[in-house]
Structure 1
């Protein structure tokens, strides 16, 4: 997999192997050839993600993770599986970009009594699934996306984050 990692906040020490493992788990689960897939990941702080959230979602607050899919792969019907991404003319599959905010992730992990690495792994899986056309706006889509997240996390030995 081609992971382009940009670390803007030095607190994100050790993120690359964690992100690589999480993204690889998603690609394996979705039966995609990781060698063909490209993802950009921005590791930032709350101030930066709040700027991005305002610019792209018109929400002025920070959030934990944002995703920008390279193409719309969403299912046509609620609860349906997304369309499988296709390689471009170079043979690569550009999936898109993810941004993750340290401050919000650390606060959420602490508030939930979860290990930071487990929470960040979940959020990177979540963001990667968004790149692959999964969403949680409609209830049937949220049910599907959460089930896929839980299955992938379970394979990684991480507890169900929705069972709190």
Structure 2
């Protein structure tokens, strides 16, 4: 079971109905395809906050959609921290023709998998991670985000 520590720092996130329920549902779906137990700390912020985190921890001075920070095993039950930027997420959702709620769900599943050590740096790693994402999202009735038209 995943416990959620939700911090909504940017008021624009309140435009998603039942935001906390959506987040919990996304993590529950992710945990069904990649089981873990613990706490996920989730920050829903603006682009500036994600740009600051991206610059500080990844040395990339630009906003990004989602960042994941896995916890040290000694910090269990904390699995780690995830941060999501409303501006980038909203723009990406619009560009991909999907709702912000569905895109946030995808970003949370993606971020959760990073907390567990999954990555997409190589083809086989990407295939494995994307397969888990697709399966988790399908369980929620969300289309494969990697299909292009």
Gaps of 5+ in 1: 72-85
Unaligned runs of 5+ in 2: none
2:26 is aligned to: 22
| C-alpha separation in 1, matches of 2:42 and 2:108 | 9
Aligned mates of 1:121, 1:66 — CA distance in 2: 14
Deviation track 1:40-69 (CA, whole Å, cap 9, x = no partner) reads 000000011000000000000000000000
Q: How big is the alpha-carbon RMSD for the aligned residues of Structure 1 and Structure 2? A: 1.6
SS of residue matched to 2:113:
helix
Structure 2 residue 115 is matched with structure 1 residue 114: no
Runs of 4+ in 1 over 4 A off after TM superposition: none
Give the structure-1-normalised TM-score.
0.83
Aligned-partner Cα distance in 1 for 2:32–2:139:
11
Q: Comparing both structures, which one devotes a greater share of its residues to helix?
A: 2
Three-state SS of the structure 2 residue aligned to 1:157 is coil
SS in 2 for 1:42: strand
- Structural mapping, 1:70-81, within 5 Å: 70-71=71-72
Aligned to 1:40, what secondary structure does the other structure show?
strand
The two structures have a TM-score, normalised by structure 2, of: 0.91
- Please report how far the alpha carbon of residue 122 of structure 1 lies from its aligned counterpart in structure 2 after TM superposition: 0.2
Count how many residue pairs are aligned between Structure 1 and Structure 2: 144
